[in-house]
Chain A
Amino acid sequence: MAASTLALALEREAWPLAALCLLLGVADAAARLPPEALESLLELLEGDAGGRRRR
């Protein structure tokens, strides 16, 4: 099986290309989430970010 663009980008340390692949992956995964799940995921991430800031 051919290596994916992401795998090649990571191997070659082509970070901007890897970043773009990953962000498009997030957009794709988000498109498949029900709206209420998106909301609770954001709430959870907000909580985690707050926890890190407090440390």
Chain B
Amino acid sequence: MAGDGADLERAPKRRRRRDEASPSRRHREAKAARDFYGSALDAAERIEPEAASDVLEAASEVQGLDGEIAVLRLKLREVLADHPEDLPLMLRGIELLVKAVSARYRLSKRAEDDLAESIAGVVRGVGGLLMPEAFADE
């Protein structure tokens, strides 16, 4: 029976919690997260909706800009309806995503804050439509 007690003592050591991960492992994990949002930024730069550039060139044409936003919002809703598991990546990774954008485009602190707020608003809006119960208290 003495062996049972020893097993019980050893058991928790087999499952290493993330908090206790070695610094090098945590460093690798943090790098993986930054790399992911860097890739997301690369992908975002490839998005070329029809007429978006024209719309933005004539920034005063608010109605046109709204149309482009509506098209992209619909596209995002379709993507998330097919892959709702991506929603947490969008919600929890906002800070890393904004940092990646800020580093590449040298955004001001105010611009960073405005962008983060916009991203959160879009995620809450689309998330609330797809999963009202999960976003009820957002």
Using a CB–CB cutoff of 8 Å, the interface residues on chain A facing chain B are 2-10, 12-33, 37-38, 40-49
* Cβ of B23 to closest chain A Cβ, rounded Å: 14
Q: Which residues of B contact A41 (CB under 8 A)?
A: 32-33, 36, 89
Q: Which residues of B contact A45 (CB under 8 A)?
A: 33, 88-89, 92-93, 96
Q: Give the B interface residue count (CB, 8 A).
A: 56
| Residue B130 is within 8 A (CB to CB) of chain A in the complex | no
Q: Which residue on A lies nearest to B79, using beta carbons?
A: A27
Q: Which residues of A contact B42 (CB under 8 A)?
A: 25, 29
B97 touches A26 (CB 8 A): yes
Report the separation of the CA atoms of residues A36 and B45 in the bound assembly, to the nearest whole angstrom: 26
User: In terms of DSSP, what is the predominant structure of the interface of chain B?
Assistant: helix
Report the separation of the CA atoms of residues A31 and B43 in the bound assembly, to the nearest whole angstrom: 11
13 A-B pairs in the complex with CB atoms less than 8 angstroms apart: A17-B56, A18-B115, A19-B115, A21-B44, A21-B47, A22-B97, A24-B72, A24-B75, A26-B90, A27-B83, A27-B90, A40-B29, A45-B96
* Cβ of B132 to closest chain A Cβ, rounded Å: 19
Q: Which residues of A contact B101 (CB under 8 A)?
A: 10, 18, 22
